[in-house]
A and B are shown apart, each in its own frame.
Chain A
């Protein structure tokens, strides 16, 4: 039962354009969402996050949008750079103390930014 889904295995964009990565979830109890970036042979690196009480969070070139009614979030990267080429994982965490903040991840989307 995949509670967090990234339906696009890969995305290719031109340098300078916008990259939009999508993520859907099924568990309405998720209350915090994160995006991680992963280069080969390295662990995931935290990129940006959003609480369920917000619908947008921005950090430099990265913006995350959350649509709770649709159970959908997206990561926008503007402008995209070749160094952004990596695997991007969406992750979600449950509300409440007993979750301890453990993360449920999507399958990942491989982003390739062409010069």
Chain B
């Protein structure tokens, strides 16, 4: 594909439901990042994958958040027992390799928890 794609684009969940957000990075990109963007704020780092290895999950806000990238390409961010404070845009970005700073972002998934 030409760029990073994410699905769904919009997700409404009732409090307590589990959600799964998908990211398809640019083909061949080794590095994959997840960010959370609250309304009126800049994106905040959640977690990082190098191929299939999750090397940094220091930004995940709680143990309800879980991410995986089992084959080193597509990644899924899962949020269990969603809370209202989880409402945000979740952005996925990929870059060619570690240390290549330019990251290419997907359009994001807007999650609303009611």
Q: Are A34 and B101 in contact (CB under 8 A)?
A: yes
Is A60's CB within 8 Å of the partner chain B?
no
Of the candidate stretches B12-20, B36-44, B72-80, the one touching chain A is B36-44
A100 near B4 with CB under 8 A, answer no
User: Does B95 have its Cβ within 8 Å of any Cβ on chain A?
Assistant: yes
Q: Complex: how many Å from CA A108 to CA B42? A: 6
Contacts of B40 in A (CB 8 A): 107-108
Q: Which residues of B contact A36 (CB under 8 A)?
A: 105
Q: Count the B residues whose beta carbon is within 8 Å of the partner chain — how many?
A: 28
| Contact, CB under 8 Å: B48 / A102 | yes
Q: How far is the CB of B43 from chain A (nearest CB, A)?
A: 5
Measured in the bound complex, the distance between the Cα atoms of B93 and A100 in whole Å is 13
Closest to A106 in B: B42
Contact A102 B45, beta carbon cutoff 8 Å: yes
Contact A93 B105 (CB under 8 A): no
Having A43-B4, A46-B103, A89-B42, one finds 15 other A-B pairs with CB under 8 Å, namely: A32-B101, A43-B105, A44-B91, A89-B43, A100-B31, A100-B48, A100-B55, A100-B99, A101-B95, A101-B98, A102-B33, A102-B45, A104-B45, A105-B42, A105-B43
A-B contact pairs, 5 of them (CB 8 A): A32-B101, A42-B107, A97-B98, A101-B95, A102-B45
| Interfacial residues, chain B to chain A (CB-CB below 8 A) | 4, 31, 33, 35, 40-45, 48, 50, 55-56, 91, 93, 95, 98-108
